[in-house]
Amino acid sequence: MTAATETRVDVLGIRHHGPGSARSVARALEALRPDVVLIEGPPEADDVAALAGNPGLVPPVALLAYAEPPKRSASRTAEAGSGDPPASETADEADVMTRDAGRPRSAFWPFAVFSPEWQALTWAAAHDVPVRFIDLPAAAHLALDDIIEAGDENAGAGNGEDETPDDENPDDATVVRAEPEAEIPVHQDPLGRLAAAAGYGDAERWWEDLVEHRTGDLAVFEAVAEAMAALREDEPILRRDALREAHMRTRLRAAIKDGARRITVVCGAWHVPALTGDLPPAAQDTAALRPFLKELKDSGRSKATVTWVPWSHGRLAVRTGYGAGVTSPGWYHHMFTATDRPVERWLTHAAGLLREEGLPVSSAHLIEGVRLADTLAALRGRPATGLDEATEAIRSVLCDGDDVRLSLVRHRLEVGELLGEVPPEAPAGPLERDLAARTKALRLPRQALEKKVELDLRKPTDLGRSRLLHQLGLLGVGWGTLAATSGKGTFKEAWHLRWDPALAVDLVAAGVHGTTVAEAASGKLLHDAAGADLPGIALLVEGALLADLSGALPSLLDTLRDQAALGHDTDALLDAIPALARTLRYGDVRGTSPGALGIVLTGLVTRARTALPGAVVALDDDAAARLVTRLRDVSAAVSLLGREPAAAGLREDWLATLSRLADRPDLHGLVAGWMARILRDERAASSDETQTRLSRFLSPGTPATTGAAFVEGFVGSSGLILVHDAELLALVDHWLSTLHADAFEQVLPLLRRSFARFDAPERRAVGERVAGRDDGAPGESLTFDPARVARVLRVLATILEKR
């Protein structure tokens, strides 16, 4: 189209990350030879666009836009996350985190080699043609939702329905939001309407058949423009789209005013009608933008920095971080880079992958697979064989119908594991800068080889290292994994460290929650807490303490308190207590104070004690085993607190509750046995009380299965109690000796399961005690019937002779 008599403007409507669109854009640019290329994206990226011609910038990569973090005090920065901040600073930090929870901190514009925008960037760099990005500023995208929600989303935007989803209203300037995206009603899918009119049930397949599988020239963009114009005649234009398109037209007019005579615009297909034909007056667009930009400036978020960061095919996959994704980036990459016979080459790659896993795939499999894929495409009337047909051929022929094998192909090939690279000339992202500064200050280099380090948390440097590794773990950046230490001291911590290049992408993606590692970890905690259950929030509180995220603790504790007050699930209450007890116990060890955590923990234990009588009855074997596991963890956690002032009396109250429940006749044997044992070990029951409970459950009037479950719960996984307690061993032996044959056969599997958990030396010691050979043990040696022993000896002699 022509916007002025002496200026030609061509608008190329594309689908982001479409290989067919990318190929068509490359050919169109060769034919048009523009003076300037305008691309849908943040104008702040103009300064780094030239790096697309740097051989060190290897896609997949992304433009990262972020707001600079607020200035911190020099002393706080130097500490690099170690020690407690001043009380006033912690309060301010917590207030900021609470206020900004859920707000996007960063925005990403990802590009793959098959992205049309990337092809436009590299063409411009190769031909020394200037590039300008024409979308709203990056800072506007970071604040767009907040500002629009505060106003009227539908102002000048039609009927006020929700925004068209990214797959239908392509939008590579995608803000990563904290909340998951809602499902989009079918009637809001404009491409779906076109697909239905063409007889397709799937808009994605329709677009692929119409555009991606064709190698058209400018005519394909003319057809796309006509289709979008028809769609927009009766579709509402939302305020965010109206603002973005007004800004695009403003940048287009600026390019014309600067003297460009041949302009090519590369933008999402949905926006093409807004940039073609007779443009509205410039004053109209200025008037529409002025209030929004003023509100943005008044909010204090009018500036953002943009740089290149590495990305991956895994993060390009749909719903893994941004909306304008593709489900099969590996397939799209193959379709763009394969010069001929793409289906044959695709199946060959799949065969090679299966062979690497030791699965047999022959040349005959490949021939039949290609034939099947082509036949399916022909039967379905498709212009070319697509991914669906290729996948069905791989499943049926190469994988013999096995979906497990197919899942391997889909993960490794269809999605792919390709990582991008960024040259040193590109400015580092905020998280990378912060991590580099902290690792340098803590003398903790990133190395590819695995290394085990032991930290002494009493030393400031080691404590800072621990906090950094815990913060990265909360962000999903698995540089280090905790390992067992050589000692039992609470001041020791061991880590296995290994830096994988893929972690750079995880670090970049974590930037949505903040611009420093500590800030991002706090934001991630608050984001996760919004959708977590009671045990999950307790683990997050523990993580906040280990990572020294004092600013996030007040909000987490408020959320925890609310969940505990509203929750009625006994299992959830029991699951939440151990993490909170560890947090309270080790707070002083790490030099942090959990504050109100003791009050919350006391309330949880009280609620658990109140709910426990109703939770221990009417249990089957599986439910009883799960309950015992939970009770064991809670008891260990409460005992761990000892005489902590913040948890005074918790241990005594908990044991008193167990003591009241231990003698109930309706208890499952496993639960009763465990309660008797824990009360004995914690000295909350005397030897006589314990013997009385054992005698009652191992009496002839108690069902044999209940007695066996009691023994299993009482003994647990260690046989030492039977080795050192002669009276207990005699009681169990007498119970077994008096069982009838049918009852013995019934309980034998349960007893074998219990005794199989003992270590071999423990089983041997128990046998020797029963045989009476341990002369140094207290109590009388057990006696046996000589006649019965003689019969056993004859059988053993026969077995040994045969050997």
In the sheet that holds 36-39, the strands lie side by side as 8-14, 262-268, 36-39, 131-133
Query: What is d(CA 122, CA 12) in angstroms, rounded to the nearest whole number?
Result: 16
Query: What is d(CA 419, CA 712) in angstroms, rounded to the nearest whole number?
Result: 52
Q: Is the pLDDT of residue 311 over 80?
A: yes
Residue 173: band (very low, low, confident or very high) from pLDDT cuts 50, 70, 90: very low
Q: Is the pLDDT of residue 201 over 80?
A: no
Q: In the 3-class helix/strand/coil scheme, how is 206-237 assigned residue by residue?
A: HHHHHHHCCCCCHHHHHHHHHHHHHHHCCCCC
The residues with which 132 forms a beta bridge, in sequence order, are 38
What is residue 803's three-state secondary structure? coil
Q: What is the pLDDT of residue 116?
A: 92
DSSP 601-624: HHHHHHHHHHHHHHHSSS--HHHH
The better pLDDT of the pair 649, 494 is held by 494
Euclidean distance between the first and the last CA atom of the chain, given in angstroms as a whole number: 96
Residue 783: band (very low, low, confident or very high) from pLDDT cuts 50, 70, 90: low
Structural tokens at position 592: 């942090």
Structural tokens at position 329: 């980036």
Sign of the dihedral through C-alpha 687, 692, 695, 696:
negative
What is residue 167's three-state secondary structure? coil
**Section 92-105 average pLDDT:** 45
Structural tokens at position 148: 């629009």
Q: Is the pLDDT of residue 370 over 90?
A: yes
Query: What is d(CA 206, CA 200) in angstroms, rounded to the nearest whole number?
Result: 6
Query: What is d(CA 56, CA 74) in angstroms, rounded to the nearest whole number?
Result: 35
**Section 48-71 average pLDDT:** 84
Supply the Cα-derived Rg of the chain in whole angstroms. 34
DSSP 241-280: HHHHHHHHHHHHHHHHHTT-SEEEEEEEGGGHHHHSSSPP
pLDDT in tens, 555-600: 888 888 787 777 677 888 888 888 888 777 765 445 455 556 777 7
Q: Is the pLDDT of residue 792 over 90?
A: no
Q: Is the pLDDT of residue 351 over 50?
A: yes
pLDDT in tens, 475-513: 999 999 988 766 555 678 899 998 887 788 888 888 888
Beta-carbon contacts of 552 under 8 Å, excluding residues fewer than 6 positions away, are 94, 97, 522, 525, 526, 544
Nearest partner of 601 among 615, 616, 582, judged by Cα: 582
Highest mean pLDDT among 68-77, 338-347, 559-568 belongs to 338-347
What letter represents residue 85's amino acid?
Answer: P
Helix (H) or strand (E) holding 307: strand 305-310
Structural tokens at position 552: 């996030």
pTM: 0.68
Nearest partner of 59 among 566, 425, 420, 528, judged by Cα: 420
Q: Is the pLDDT of residue 37 over 50?
A: yes
Q: Is the pLDDT of residue 159 over 50?
A: no
pLDDT in tens, 691-716: 788 777 777 777 777 877 877 887 77
The better pLDDT of the pair 487, 670 is held by 670
Query: What is d(CA 391, CA 414) in angstroms, rounded to the nearest whole number?
Result: 9
pLDDT in tens, 409-448: 988 898 888 888 999 888 888 888 899 999 999 999 988 7
Residue 125: band (very low, low, confident or very high) from pLDDT cuts 50, 70, 90: very high
Structural tokens at position 214: 């064709």
Query: What is d(CA 482, CA 466) in angstroms, rounded to the nearest whole number?
Result: 10
Phi, psi dihedral angles at 793 (to 5 degrees): -65, -35
**Section 202-207 average pLDDT:** 72
Q: Is the pLDDT of residue 131 over 60?
A: yes
Sign of the dihedral through C-alpha 140, 142, 148, 150:
negative
Query: What is d(CA 509, CA 623) in angstroms, rounded to the nearest whole number?
Result: 41
Q: What is the pLDDT of residue 711?
A: 78
What is residue 153's three-state secondary structure? coil
The better pLDDT of the pair 186, 138 is held by 138
What letter represents residue 91's amino acid?
Answer: A
The better pLDDT of the pair 184, 397 is held by 397
* Orientation angle between helical segments 138-150 and 282-298, nearest 10 degrees: 90
Highest mean pLDDT among 138-147, 461-470, 544-553 belongs to 461-470
Query: What is d(CA 475, CA 621) in angstroms, rounded to the nearest whole number?
Result: 39
Sign of the dihedral through C-alpha 787, 792, 795, 801:
negative
Omega within 30 of 0 (cis) for the link into 165: no
Other Cβ atoms closer than 10 A to 182: 8
Q: Is the pLDDT of residue 185 over 50?
A: no
Other Cβ atoms closer than 10 A to 741: 7
Q: What is the pLDDT of residue 567?
A: 67
**Section 632-653 average pLDDT:** 76
What is residue 399's three-state secondary structure? coil
Q: Is 767 exposed, middle or buried (0-12, 13-18, 19+ CB in 10 A)?
A: exposed
Structural tokens at position 92: 């301010």
Average pLDDT, the chain: 78
Residue 775: band (very low, low, confident or very high) from pLDDT cuts 50, 70, 90: very low
Q: Is the pLDDT of residue 83 over 50?
A: no
Number of helical H runs and strand E runs in the chain: 35, 11
Query: What is d(CA 762, CA 768) in angstroms, rounded to the nearest whole number?
Result: 10
Share of the chain above pLDDT 90, in %: 24
Q: In the 3-class helix/strand/coil scheme, how is 654-672 assigned residue by residue?
A: HHHHHHHHCCCCCCCHHHH
Q: What is the pLDDT of residue 87?
A: 35
Phi, psi dihedral angles at 107 (to 5 degrees): -135, 145
**Section 741-750 average pLDDT:** 72
Strand 36-39 relative to strand 131-133, pairing: parallel
Position of tokens 């896993």? 357
Determine contact, residues 41/324, Cβ cutoff 8 Å: no
